[in-house]
Structure 1
Amino acid sequence: MRLVVDASTLVAEVLRVRGRKLLTHPALDLAVAADAWSEAEHELRKRVALLIKRGHLEAAAAGELLDAAVASIANRAILAPRETYAGHLEEALRRVPRDPRDAPTVALALAMECGIWAGDFDYFGCGVPVWTTATLRAHLETGGDTSLR
């Protein structure tokens, strides 16, 4: 199943063991728009710093977590350069008027003719299929795959 992953979803899932399992599922063919990857990297570092500040993560483990997170993404998701989806950006901006930062993800989904994996409801109604983490997990488990539990 080919999907474009939203930056926020990528950050949320890659920081959890269960999420990394889903990101590396063999049935998934994932792509990330270059603009979304930039946003994800920035947010990932902010999220790890916040986990340390709140006492949920030891500073010594932060580097290891970041390395595991980036490796999970790099090994399983195609980083699509802007040229791949630039021709669809104008249309994508019309489809997600509330948040222009979501346009590269929609543009890449249009270019690849596939759905989007996101938890952001701004994508709903943009004209391409949108999968939440819960529905994606349920869909994969329905196929008999229990490795995600």
Structure 2
Amino acid sequence: MLLVIDANVLVGELLRVRGRELFEKSILQLHISEEAFDEALHEMSRRAGRIVEQGRASRQAADAMLDEARGIVERRITPVPSEVYAGFEERAAYRMLRDPNDVPTVALALALGGDEGRCGIWTNDGDFLGCGLPTWTTDTLLAHLRYGEREQR
């Protein structure tokens, strides 16, 4: 299953056990735009610092969580340089009128899967709805994968 990951999913799910387990599923071929990747790494570090400040984890535990998250990213997620999808950004911009920061994610999905929707977008951001490509929230993706596993038994 070919998917482009939005930054909100990468940040939110890599900081959860459920998400880290989901990222390890070999059926998922995961890619992320260069811009979303940079944003996600910055935000993950910021959120880990906030978790420590709130007393929800020690600095050592937060650093271990970040190390585990970085390991998953290195093993399972392909950051894609902007040169790969730059030619699709104008088309993507017409599909993403509400948030221009999301254009690279849509452009990458178009570059990898075309207008036919062979590549979906994994996001929890409603701005992607109606962009003309398949969108998966974390919950719908989990349900889809559970159903597929059930069908294989």
TM-score by length of 1: 0.94
Partner of 2:125: 120
2:62 paired with 1:57: no
**Greater CA deviation, 84-93 or 130-139?**
84-93
Q: CA-to-partner distance for each residue in 1:73-116, whole Å, 9 max, x for gaps?
A: 11001111111111111111121111111111000001011110
Measured after TM superposition, the shift of residue 140 of structure 1 is 0.5
2:84 paired with 1:84: yes
Aligned length: 145
Q: Distance in 1 between matches of 2:86 and 2:105?
A: 11
Question: What is the correspondence of 1:100-115 to structure 2 with a 5 Å cutoff?
Answer: 100-113=100-113, 114-115=119-120
Instruction: Name the % identity.
Output: 48
- What are structure 1's unaligned runs of at least 5 residues? none
Measured after TM superposition, the shift of residue 62 of structure 1 is 1.8
1:130 alignment partner AA: T
Measured after TM superposition, the shift of residue 117 of structure 1 is 0.2
Measured after TM superposition, the shift of residue 143 of structure 1 is 1.3
Q: Distance in 1 between matches of 2:55 and 2:90?
A: 43
Would you identify which runs of 4 or more consecutive aligned residues in structure 1 move more than 2 Å?
none
Q: Paired residue for 1:133, among 128, 135, 138?
A: 138
